[in-house]
Structure 1
Amino acid sequence: MLSAAVSAGCSSQAETAPAATPGVSGPGTGTPAATGHIGDTLTLTRADDSTIAVTLEQVINPATVTSGKHDPASTYLATKLKITDPGTAAIDGNVNINVTVFGSDGQNYTADLSNVSECANFDSGGFDLGPGESATGCVVFALPHGVSPTKVKYAPSSGFAEDFGEWTLS
């Protein structure tokens, strides 16, 4: 659904990936607007000033990769998220781009895009929600063996929004 709306030019709220520039601060790099723990819902402001409510429902660690190649030197985990549109206009985006996991080694990890048996991905990461609608799915990460997840970050609008939230996993 997301790709059709973006390619047709029908949505001004589509989320696209920003260029990565290590060591440079910008939107989504300061203090989180909201913090919580597993089970908490964080309501965040997107780049277009609409809002999104995100619940970290579960962290599945380890998760079992079902298909495709996987790295035998990695432990896979899945973050199960519920995305809700609390506003009055439709929103869309890509959860795989918006979510980051922080590891006990001080590194940040982006989505691995693998599928796992414990839960389904969103529509290849995409969501397209009307007011009051929600979607639940998982974002998968590959962490080196011995590295534990310490927190999960959600940065709306692919990190272009000033707002972001974090869930502490300890």
Structure 2
Amino acid sequence: MNRGTAIAAALLLAPALLGVGPGGAGPGGSGETVPLAGKEPGEHLDVTLTQVVDPVSPAPDDTDRLVSVEFRLENTGTAVYKDSPAPSAHLLDSDGQRFTGVNASTGAGTAFPDTVTLDPGDSTTGFVTFQLPKDAGLAAVQFALNGGLADDVGQWSLS
């Protein structure tokens, strides 16, 4: 890892390790709701991390493991929410590595479909799954609207 990458990773990881910022709920981070805005007018979601399942079966191989995170999404805006929750979610490990979520059926529960559409006032719950090294420590989960590209990012500490 070069110096610039190490500094960027430290800046991303620092709030997760300190449990500060939106959603810094301490161990597990479960149950905390974070209001998030998207890039377009009227795009607002309340996002709640409800559960972390680690590990999840089936394991992809001997060197990796699956971790599934359950989110509750509630459209609190005035615009229809139409997005894919999996690429909107990221898991940070204790070494600063960032893993993007995927839609995968696992033993944890029902995954979000590829695209979720919520009218204002509607809500849904589903899992996003991450594949990471078997020995990786979990530090934080992040979620942002617009496929993870919105400036407003919710973060839940897992340490």
Q: TM-score range by the shorter chain?
A: 0.7 to 0.9
1:71, distance to aligned residue in structure 2 (A): 2.9
Identity over aligned pairs, percent: 28
Of 88, 91, 101, which residue of structure 1 is paired with 2:81?
Answer: 91
Contact 1:81 1:138 in 2 (8 A): yes
Quick one: which of 38, 51, 54 aligns to 1:58? 51
Where 1:48 maps in the other structure, the secondary structure is coil
Equivalence for 1:160: 149
Q: Partner amino acid for 1:168?
A: S
Secondary structure of the structure 2 residue equivalent to 1:61: strand
User: Aligned in 2, Cα 1:33/1:161: closer, same or farther, shift over 3 Å?
Assistant: farther
Label 1:112 to 1:73 Cα distance change in 2 as closer, same or farther (>3 A): farther
Query: Are positions 1:169 and 2:158 aligned together?
Result: yes
What TM-score does the superposition give when structure 2 sets the normalisation length?
0.79
Say yes or no: does 1:151 pair with 2:140. yes
What letter matches 1:158 in structure 2? G
Structure 2 letter corresponding to 1:134: S
Q: Aligned-pair RMSD on alpha carbons?
A: 2.4
Aligned equivalents of 1:160 and 1:41: distance in 2?
Answer: 20
Task: Classify 1:112/1:91 alpha carbon distance in 2 versus 1 (closer, same or farther; 3 Å).
Answer: closer
Q: How many residues align?
A: 141
Report 1:18-97 matches (<5 A). 34-36=22-24, 37-49=29-41, 50-65=43-58, 70-97=60-87
* 1:8-27 superposed matches below 5 A: none
Q: Secondary structure at the match of 2:87?
A: helix
Rounded to whole Å, the distance in 2 between the matches of 1:63 and 1:106 is: 22
Paired residue type of 1:54: V
8 A contact 1:34–1:44 mirrored in 2: no
What stretches of structure 2 of length at least 5 have no aligned partner?
Answer: none
